[in-house]
C-alpha cells in the first residue's frame, strides 16, 4: 500500500479543511484538536477503505483533492457558521480498467465492483459511529458523541444519490442496498441528534 507525496499532501489538506469546518462555530484549541483527530479517523478511514477495496479488485486508485470543492466547503461552512458542511473535499479516483494478474491483460471494472468500492466508505463511517456510540454508552463524553455525529454526517452525505457521491454509484449497482444503508444512516443521524 504505497502513497505518492501528492496523494498524502491532498489527503492532509482535505483533513485540515474538514477538521476546521467541523469545529465551527465556536473554535477553541480543544474543539479544533478534537475535530482534527475525529476527521482524520472519519475521512481518512473512509477514503482508505475505498482505495484498498479498489486495489483488491485490481484497479489503480488514488486520492485527489477537489480544490473547488474545498473552496465551496470553506465558504459554505463559514457563512453557515458550521451548520452546513459540504463534506466532499476530494475523492478516491479509480481507473476504469484493472490489470489481470499474471496475464498482462486489462478488463473493465464491473458495475458490482464499483458498487462495492463505493459502499465500503459509508459502511466504514457507520461502523466508526457505532464504536463511538458504544464508547459513549460506557463513558459519556462529548468527544465520543462528536465522533459518532461526524461519522453519521459523512456517511449520510456520501450516500446522497447525486454524482459524483458514493450514493449515485451504489444506487446504479443495487437500489435495495443503497436504500437499506441510506435509511440506516438517516435513522442513525436522527437518533444521534437526541444524544
Chain centroid to CA 34: how far? 18
SS3 91: strand
- Contact at 8 Å (CB) between 185 and 155? yes
Beta strand 90-100 with 105-108 is antiparallel
**Residue with cell string 485490481:** 58
- Residue 112 annotated among the catalytic residues of the structure: no
Return the H-helix or E-strand segment holding 185: helix 175-192
User: Which of 47, 62, 105, 112 is the catalytic position?
Assistant: 47
Residues tagged active-site: 47
Amino acid at each position: 500500500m504505497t502513497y505518492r507525496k501528492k496523494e498524502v499532501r491532498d489527503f492532509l489538506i482535505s483533513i485540515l479543511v474538514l477538521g476546521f469546518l467541523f469545529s465551527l462555530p465556536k473554535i477553541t484549541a480543544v474543539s479544533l484538536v478534537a475535530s482534527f483527530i475525529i476527521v482524520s479517523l472519519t475521512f481518512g478511514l473512509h477514503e482508505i477503505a475505498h482505495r484498498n477495496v479498489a486495489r483488491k479488485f485490481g484497479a489503480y486508485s488514488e486520492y485527489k483533492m477537489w480544490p473547488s470543492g474545498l473552496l465551496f466547503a470553506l465558504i459554505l461552512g463559514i457563512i453557515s457558521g458550521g451548520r452546513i458542511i459540504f463534506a466532499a473535499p476530494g475523492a478516491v479516483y479509480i481507473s476504469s480498467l484493472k490489470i489481470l494478474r499474471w496475464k498482462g491483460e486489462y478488463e473493465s471494472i464491473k458495475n458490482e465492483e464499483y458498487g462495492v468500492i463505493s459502499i465500503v466508505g459509508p459502511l466504514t463511517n457507520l461502523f466508526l459511529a457505532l464504536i463511538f456510540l458504544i464508547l459513549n454508552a460506557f463513558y459519556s463524553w462529548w468527544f465520543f458523541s462528536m465522533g459518532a455525529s461526524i461519522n453519521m454526517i459523512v456517511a449520510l452525505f456520501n450516500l446522497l444519490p447525486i454524482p459524483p457521491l458514493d450514493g449515485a454509484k451504489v444506487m446504479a449497482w443495487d437500489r435495495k442496498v443503497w436504500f437499506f444503508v441510506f435509511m440506516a444512516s438517516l435513522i442513525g443521524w436522527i437518533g444521534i441528534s437526541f444524544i
